[in-house]
A and B are shown apart, each in its own frame.
Chain A
Amino acid sequence: MKDFFSSKKFKILMAVAALLIGFMIYAAVNIDWGHFGSDAIGAITAPFQKLSATISKAANDFFDRFINYDKYFKENQTLRDKVNELTGKLVDYEELQRENEQLREILGLKEEHADFEFSAPADVIGREPNDPFATFTIDKGSLHGLELYDPVITKDGLVGWISEVSYTSAKVCTILNPEMKIGCYDVESAEIGVLKGDPELAEEGRVRLAHLPRNADTVKPGATIATSGTSGLFPKGLVVGEVEQVHEDEQGISMYAVVKPACNVAEINSVFVLTDFFGKVDYNAQDSGEVGE
Chain B
Amino acid sequence: MSTPAKLKWRSVAKWGLYALIAFVLYILQVTPNVFVFWGVKPDFLLPCAVGVALLEGDFRGGLFAVVCGLLYDMAFTRLFGFNGLLFLTVCVCIGLLSLYYFRPNLINFLLFSVTAMLLVYSVNFVFKYLIWGYSGAGMYYVRSVLLCAAWSLLFSPAIYFALRSIHRRLSPSED
User: In the complex, which residues of chain A have a beta carbon less than 8 angstroms from the beta carbon of B31?
Assistant: 49, 52-53, 56
- Closest CB-CB distance, A40 to chain B, in whole Å? 9
A34 and B26 CA atoms in complex are apart in Å by 18
Q: Which A residue sits closest to B87, measured CB to CB? A: A20
- Asked if B100 and A24 make an inter-chain contact with CB atoms under 8 angstroms apart, the answer reads no
- Asked if B27 and A37 make an inter-chain contact with CB atoms under 8 angstroms apart, the answer reads no
- Closest CB-CB distance, A148 to chain B, in whole Å? 74
Q: Which A residue sits closest to B89, measured CB to CB? A: A17
- Closest CB-CB distance, B66 to chain A, in whole Å? 6
User: In the complex, which residues of chain B have a beta carbon less than 8 angstroms from the beta carbon of A110?
Assistant: none
- Which listed segment binds A: B8-16, B77-85, B139-147? B77-85
Most buried by A among B62, B71, B74, B100: B74
A6-26: CB near B (< 8 Å → 1, else 0) gives 000100110011001111100
Q: Name the contact of B71 in the complex, choosing from A27, A41, A48, A57 (C-beta under 8 A).
A: A41
Judge if A78 is at the interface, Cβ distance under 8 Å. Answer: no
User: In the complex, which residues of chain A have a beta carbon less than 8 angstroms from the beta carbon of B88?
Assistant: 13, 16-17, 20
- Asked if B70 and A37 make an inter-chain contact with CB atoms under 8 angstroms apart, the answer reads yes
- In the complex where A16-B63, A52-B34 touch, is A4 in contact with B74 (Cβ < 8 A)? no
User: In the complex, which residues of chain A have a beta carbon less than 8 angstroms from the beta carbon of B80?
Assistant: 23-24, 27, 33-34, 37
Number of interface residues of A (CB under 8 A): 28
B26-46: CB near A (< 8 Å → 1, else 0) gives 111011111000000000000
Judge if B59 is at the interface, Cβ distance under 8 Å. Answer: yes
Judge if B119 is at the interface, Cβ distance under 8 Å. Answer: no
- Closest CB-CB distance, A216 to chain B, in whole Å? 90
User: In the complex, which residues of chain B have a beta carbon less than 8 angstroms from the beta carbon of A38?
Assistant: 74, 77
User: In the complex, which residues of chain B have a beta carbon less than 8 angstroms from the beta carbon of A16?
Assistant: 62-63, 66, 88
- Closest CB-CB distance, B152 to chain A, in whole Å? 17
Which A residues, 185 to 227, have Cβ-Cβ distances below 8 Å to chain B? none
User: In the complex, which residues of chain A have a beta carbon less than 8 angstroms from the beta carbon of B28?
Assistant: 52
Judge if B96 is at the interface, Cβ distance under 8 Å. Answer: yes
A1 and B73 CA atoms in complex are apart in Å by 30
- In the complex where A1-B96, A41-B71, A52-B31 touch, is A9 in contact with B81 (Cβ < 8 A)? no
Q: Name the contact of A56 in the complex, choosing from B23, B34, B77, B92 (C-beta under 8 A).
A: B34
Judge if A291 is at the interface, Cβ distance under 8 Å. Answer: no
Q: Which B residue sits closest to A5, measured CB to CB? A: B96
- Asked if A57 and B33 make an inter-chain contact with CB atoms under 8 angstroms apart, the answer reads yes
- Asked if B34 and A4 make an inter-chain contact with CB atoms under 8 angstroms apart, the answer reads no
- Closest CB-CB distance, A161 to chain B, in whole Å? 73
Q: Name the contact of B85 in the complex, choosing from A20, A37, A45 (C-beta under 8 A).
A: A20
Q: Name the contact of B59 in the complex, choosing from A1, A13, A56 (C-beta under 8 A).
A: A13
A231 and B169 CA atoms in complex are apart in Å by 111
- Asked if B59 and A24 make an inter-chain contact with CB atoms under 8 angstroms apart, the answer reads no
Q: Name the contact of A23 in the complex, choosing from B26, B62, B71, B84 (C-beta under 8 A).
A: B84
User: In the complex, which residues of chain A have a beta carbon less than 8 angstroms from the beta carbon of B92?
Assistant: 13
- Asked if B27 and A52 make an inter-chain contact with CB atoms under 8 angstroms apart, the answer reads yes
User: In the complex, which residues of chain B have a beta carbon less than 8 angstroms from the beta carbon of A23?
Assistant: 80-81, 84
Which B residues, 96 to 111, have Cβ-Cβ distances below 8 Å to chain A? 96, 100
- Closest CB-CB distance, A21 to chain B, in whole Å? 7
User: In the complex, which residues of chain B have a beta carbon less than 8 angstroms from the beta carbon of A4?
Assistant: 58, 96
Q: Which B residue sits closest to A59, measured CB to CB? A: B34
22 contacts between A and B (CB under 8 A): A1-B96, A4-B96, A12-B59, A13-B63, A13-B92, A16-B63, A20-B84, A24-B80, A24-B81, A34-B73, A34-B77, A37-B70, A37-B73, A37-B74, A38-B77, A41-B74, A42-B74, A45-B23, A52-B27, A52-B31, A53-B32, A56-B32
Task: List the interface of chain B (C-beta within 8 A of A).
Answer: 23, 26-28, 30-34, 58-59, 62-63, 66, 70-71, 73-74, 77, 79-82, 84-85, 88-89, 92, 96, 100
